[in-house]
């Protein structure tokens, strides 16, 4: 009998994301009663409470590196909070119980519940600077795109790399006044824009995936969303660069005091190191990445994506939940 060690693929290890998806499913389901009700804080609170409760059941030792609030602003999941059972792998966590609270409150599409995980000590804590300038594309972007080049040069170079005419290119951008010139510059190349109302995580992921209607995602969005997106893009083999964008001199100084290189171009490896990242997202409302929560009689349907960089996989999970198990929420 051979004594040679079996190939690595004969020794599957634990995909933590397949357990964490229960937390994003719960957060998405609990946010449903607040869709279109105009109260984004109530929606966020419902999602946070559900996510925290389900995270406590997962065997891992998680520390939130990127959360939405501080401890004295509970019930938000705060930076430095420990989650999980305390047993199992030590992990960094980026969490956004609802990416798109305004979308949820307005009843608009593309709201998600999101978790990203990496090994302990590998996730950049950029929380002292709220905004980040980002550019995301597919694998062909490596060695082709540079965030320091004019946007038109990047679009033309990437279009050539993927074999598309400029007129066919579609660039996702957050619809914000700060992007007025950026949008004009994109359109001046002949490319079209896909304007995002809120939450650019899904836009970044779709830019990194093959076969979507988005070729690139460009512009200034939240730095927490940037780090979260990096975990997903790494699993897809996509391209991403970022650069911190402090809104004023005081925030710039806070970033420097926290040890951040404000002017550096951040590669995806700077944002999250190593090759063991997980990303989980469940749809709250319908979007291009996943469908939102739907109730059909006694059944609640959810759709989620689960990505892992170590295996390079994207899984879609469609789940059916019995309404009777959620009856403690009278609004469902």
- The confidence band for 61, taking pLDDT boundaries of 50, 70 and 90, is very high
254 annotated binding-site participant: no
Residue 178 annotated as part of some ligand binding site: yes
Task: Report the pLDDT value the prediction gives residue 6, as an integer from 0 to 100.
Answer: 41
71-125: pLDDT as tens digits: 444 456 788 889 999 888 899 999 999 998 889 999 999 999 999 999 999 999 9
**pLDDT value of residue 163:** 96
176 is in an annotated binding site: yes
Q: Which residues contact 104 (CB under 8 A, 6 or more apart)?
A: 31, 34, 35, 40, 43, 98, 111, 284, 285
At residue 331, the pLDDT reads 43
The answer on whether 44 is annotated among ligand-binding residues is yes
Determine if residue 101 is labeled as part of a ligand binding site: yes
Condensed to tens digits (0 to 9), the pLDDT of residues 275-325 reads: 899 999 999 999 989 999 999 999 999 999 999 998 888 999 999 999 988
Q: Tell whether 81 is in a known binding site.
A: no
Average pLDDT taken over every residue of the chain: 89
CATH fold, domain 131-271, is D-Maltodextrin-Binding Protein; domain 2 (3.40.190)
Euclidean distance between CA atoms 304 and 290, whole angstroms: 6
Q: Is the pLDDT of residue 4 over 80?
A: no
- Residue 215 is labelled as binding a ligand: no
Give the pLDDT confidence score for residue 13 in this predicted structure.
56
**Residue 222 is assigned to a ligand binding site:** yes
237 is in an annotated binding site: no
- The whole-number pLDDT of residue 38 equals 94
According to the annotation, is 57 in a ligand binding site?
no
Does 138 count as an annotated binding residue? no
Residue 261 annotated as part of some ligand binding site: no
Asked if residue 199 belongs to a known ligand binding site, the reply is yes
What is the percent of the chain where pLDDT is above 90?
73
Give the pLDDT score at 325: 81
Q: Which span out of 8-17, 48-57, 61-70 was modeled with the highest average pLDDT?
A: 48-57
CATH 3.30.590.10 fits 16-120+276-331, yes or no: no
User: Does position 9 have pLDDT exceeding 80, yes or no?
Assistant: no
pLDDT digits (tens, 9 = 90+) for 191-249: 999 999 887 899 999 999 988 999 999 999 988 899 999 999 999 999 999 999 999 99
pLDDT at residue number 198: 81
pLDDT over 70 at 68, yes or no: no
Quick check: 1 pLDDT over 90? no
177 labeled binding residue: yes
Domain boundaries, the chain: 16-120+276-331, 131-271
188, two tokens: 């001046």
Is 269 flagged in the annotation as binding?
A: no
């Amino acid at each position: 009998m051979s004594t040679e060690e079996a190939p690595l693929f004969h020794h599957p290890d634990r995909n933590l994301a397949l357990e964490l998806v229960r937390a994003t499913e719960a957060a998405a389901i609990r946010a449903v009663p607040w869709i279109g009700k105009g109260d984004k804080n109530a929606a966020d609170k419902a999602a946070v409470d559900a996510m925290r409760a389900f995270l406590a059941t997962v065997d891992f030792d998680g520390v939130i590196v990127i959360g939405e609030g501080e401890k004295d602003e509970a019930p938000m999941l705060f930076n430095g909070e420990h989650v999980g059972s305390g047993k199992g792998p030590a992990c960094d966590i980026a969490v956004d119980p609802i990416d798109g609270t305004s979308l949820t409150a307005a009843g608009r599409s593309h709201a998600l519940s999101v978790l990203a995980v990496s090994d302990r000590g590998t996730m950049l804590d950029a929380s002292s600077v709220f905004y980040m300038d980002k550019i995301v594309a597919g694998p062909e972007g490596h060695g082709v795109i540079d965030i320091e080049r004019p946007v038109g040069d990047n679009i033309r170079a990437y279009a050539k790399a993927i074999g598309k005419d400029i007129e066919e290119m579609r660039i996702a951008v957050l619809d914000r006044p700060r992007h007025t010139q950026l949008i004009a510059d994109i359109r001046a190349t002949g490319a079209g824009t896909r304007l995002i109302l809120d939450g650019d995580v899904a836009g970044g992921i779709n830019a990194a995936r093959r076969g979507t209607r988005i070729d690139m995602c460009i512009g200034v969005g939240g730095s927490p969303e940037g780090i979260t997106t990096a975990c997903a893009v790494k699993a897809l083999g996509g391209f991403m660069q970022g650069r911190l964008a402090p809104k004023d001199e005081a925030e710039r100084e806070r970033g420097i005091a926290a040890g951040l290189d404000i002017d550096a171009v951040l590669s995806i490896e700077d944002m999250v190191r190593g090759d063991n990242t997980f990303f989980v997202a469940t749809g709250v409302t319908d979007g291009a990445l996943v469908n939102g929560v739907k109730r059909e009689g006694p059944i609640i349907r959810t759709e989620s994506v689960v990505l892992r960089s170590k295996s390079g996989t994207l899984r879609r999970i469609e789940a059916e939940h019995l309404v009777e198990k959620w009856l403690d929420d009278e609004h469902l």
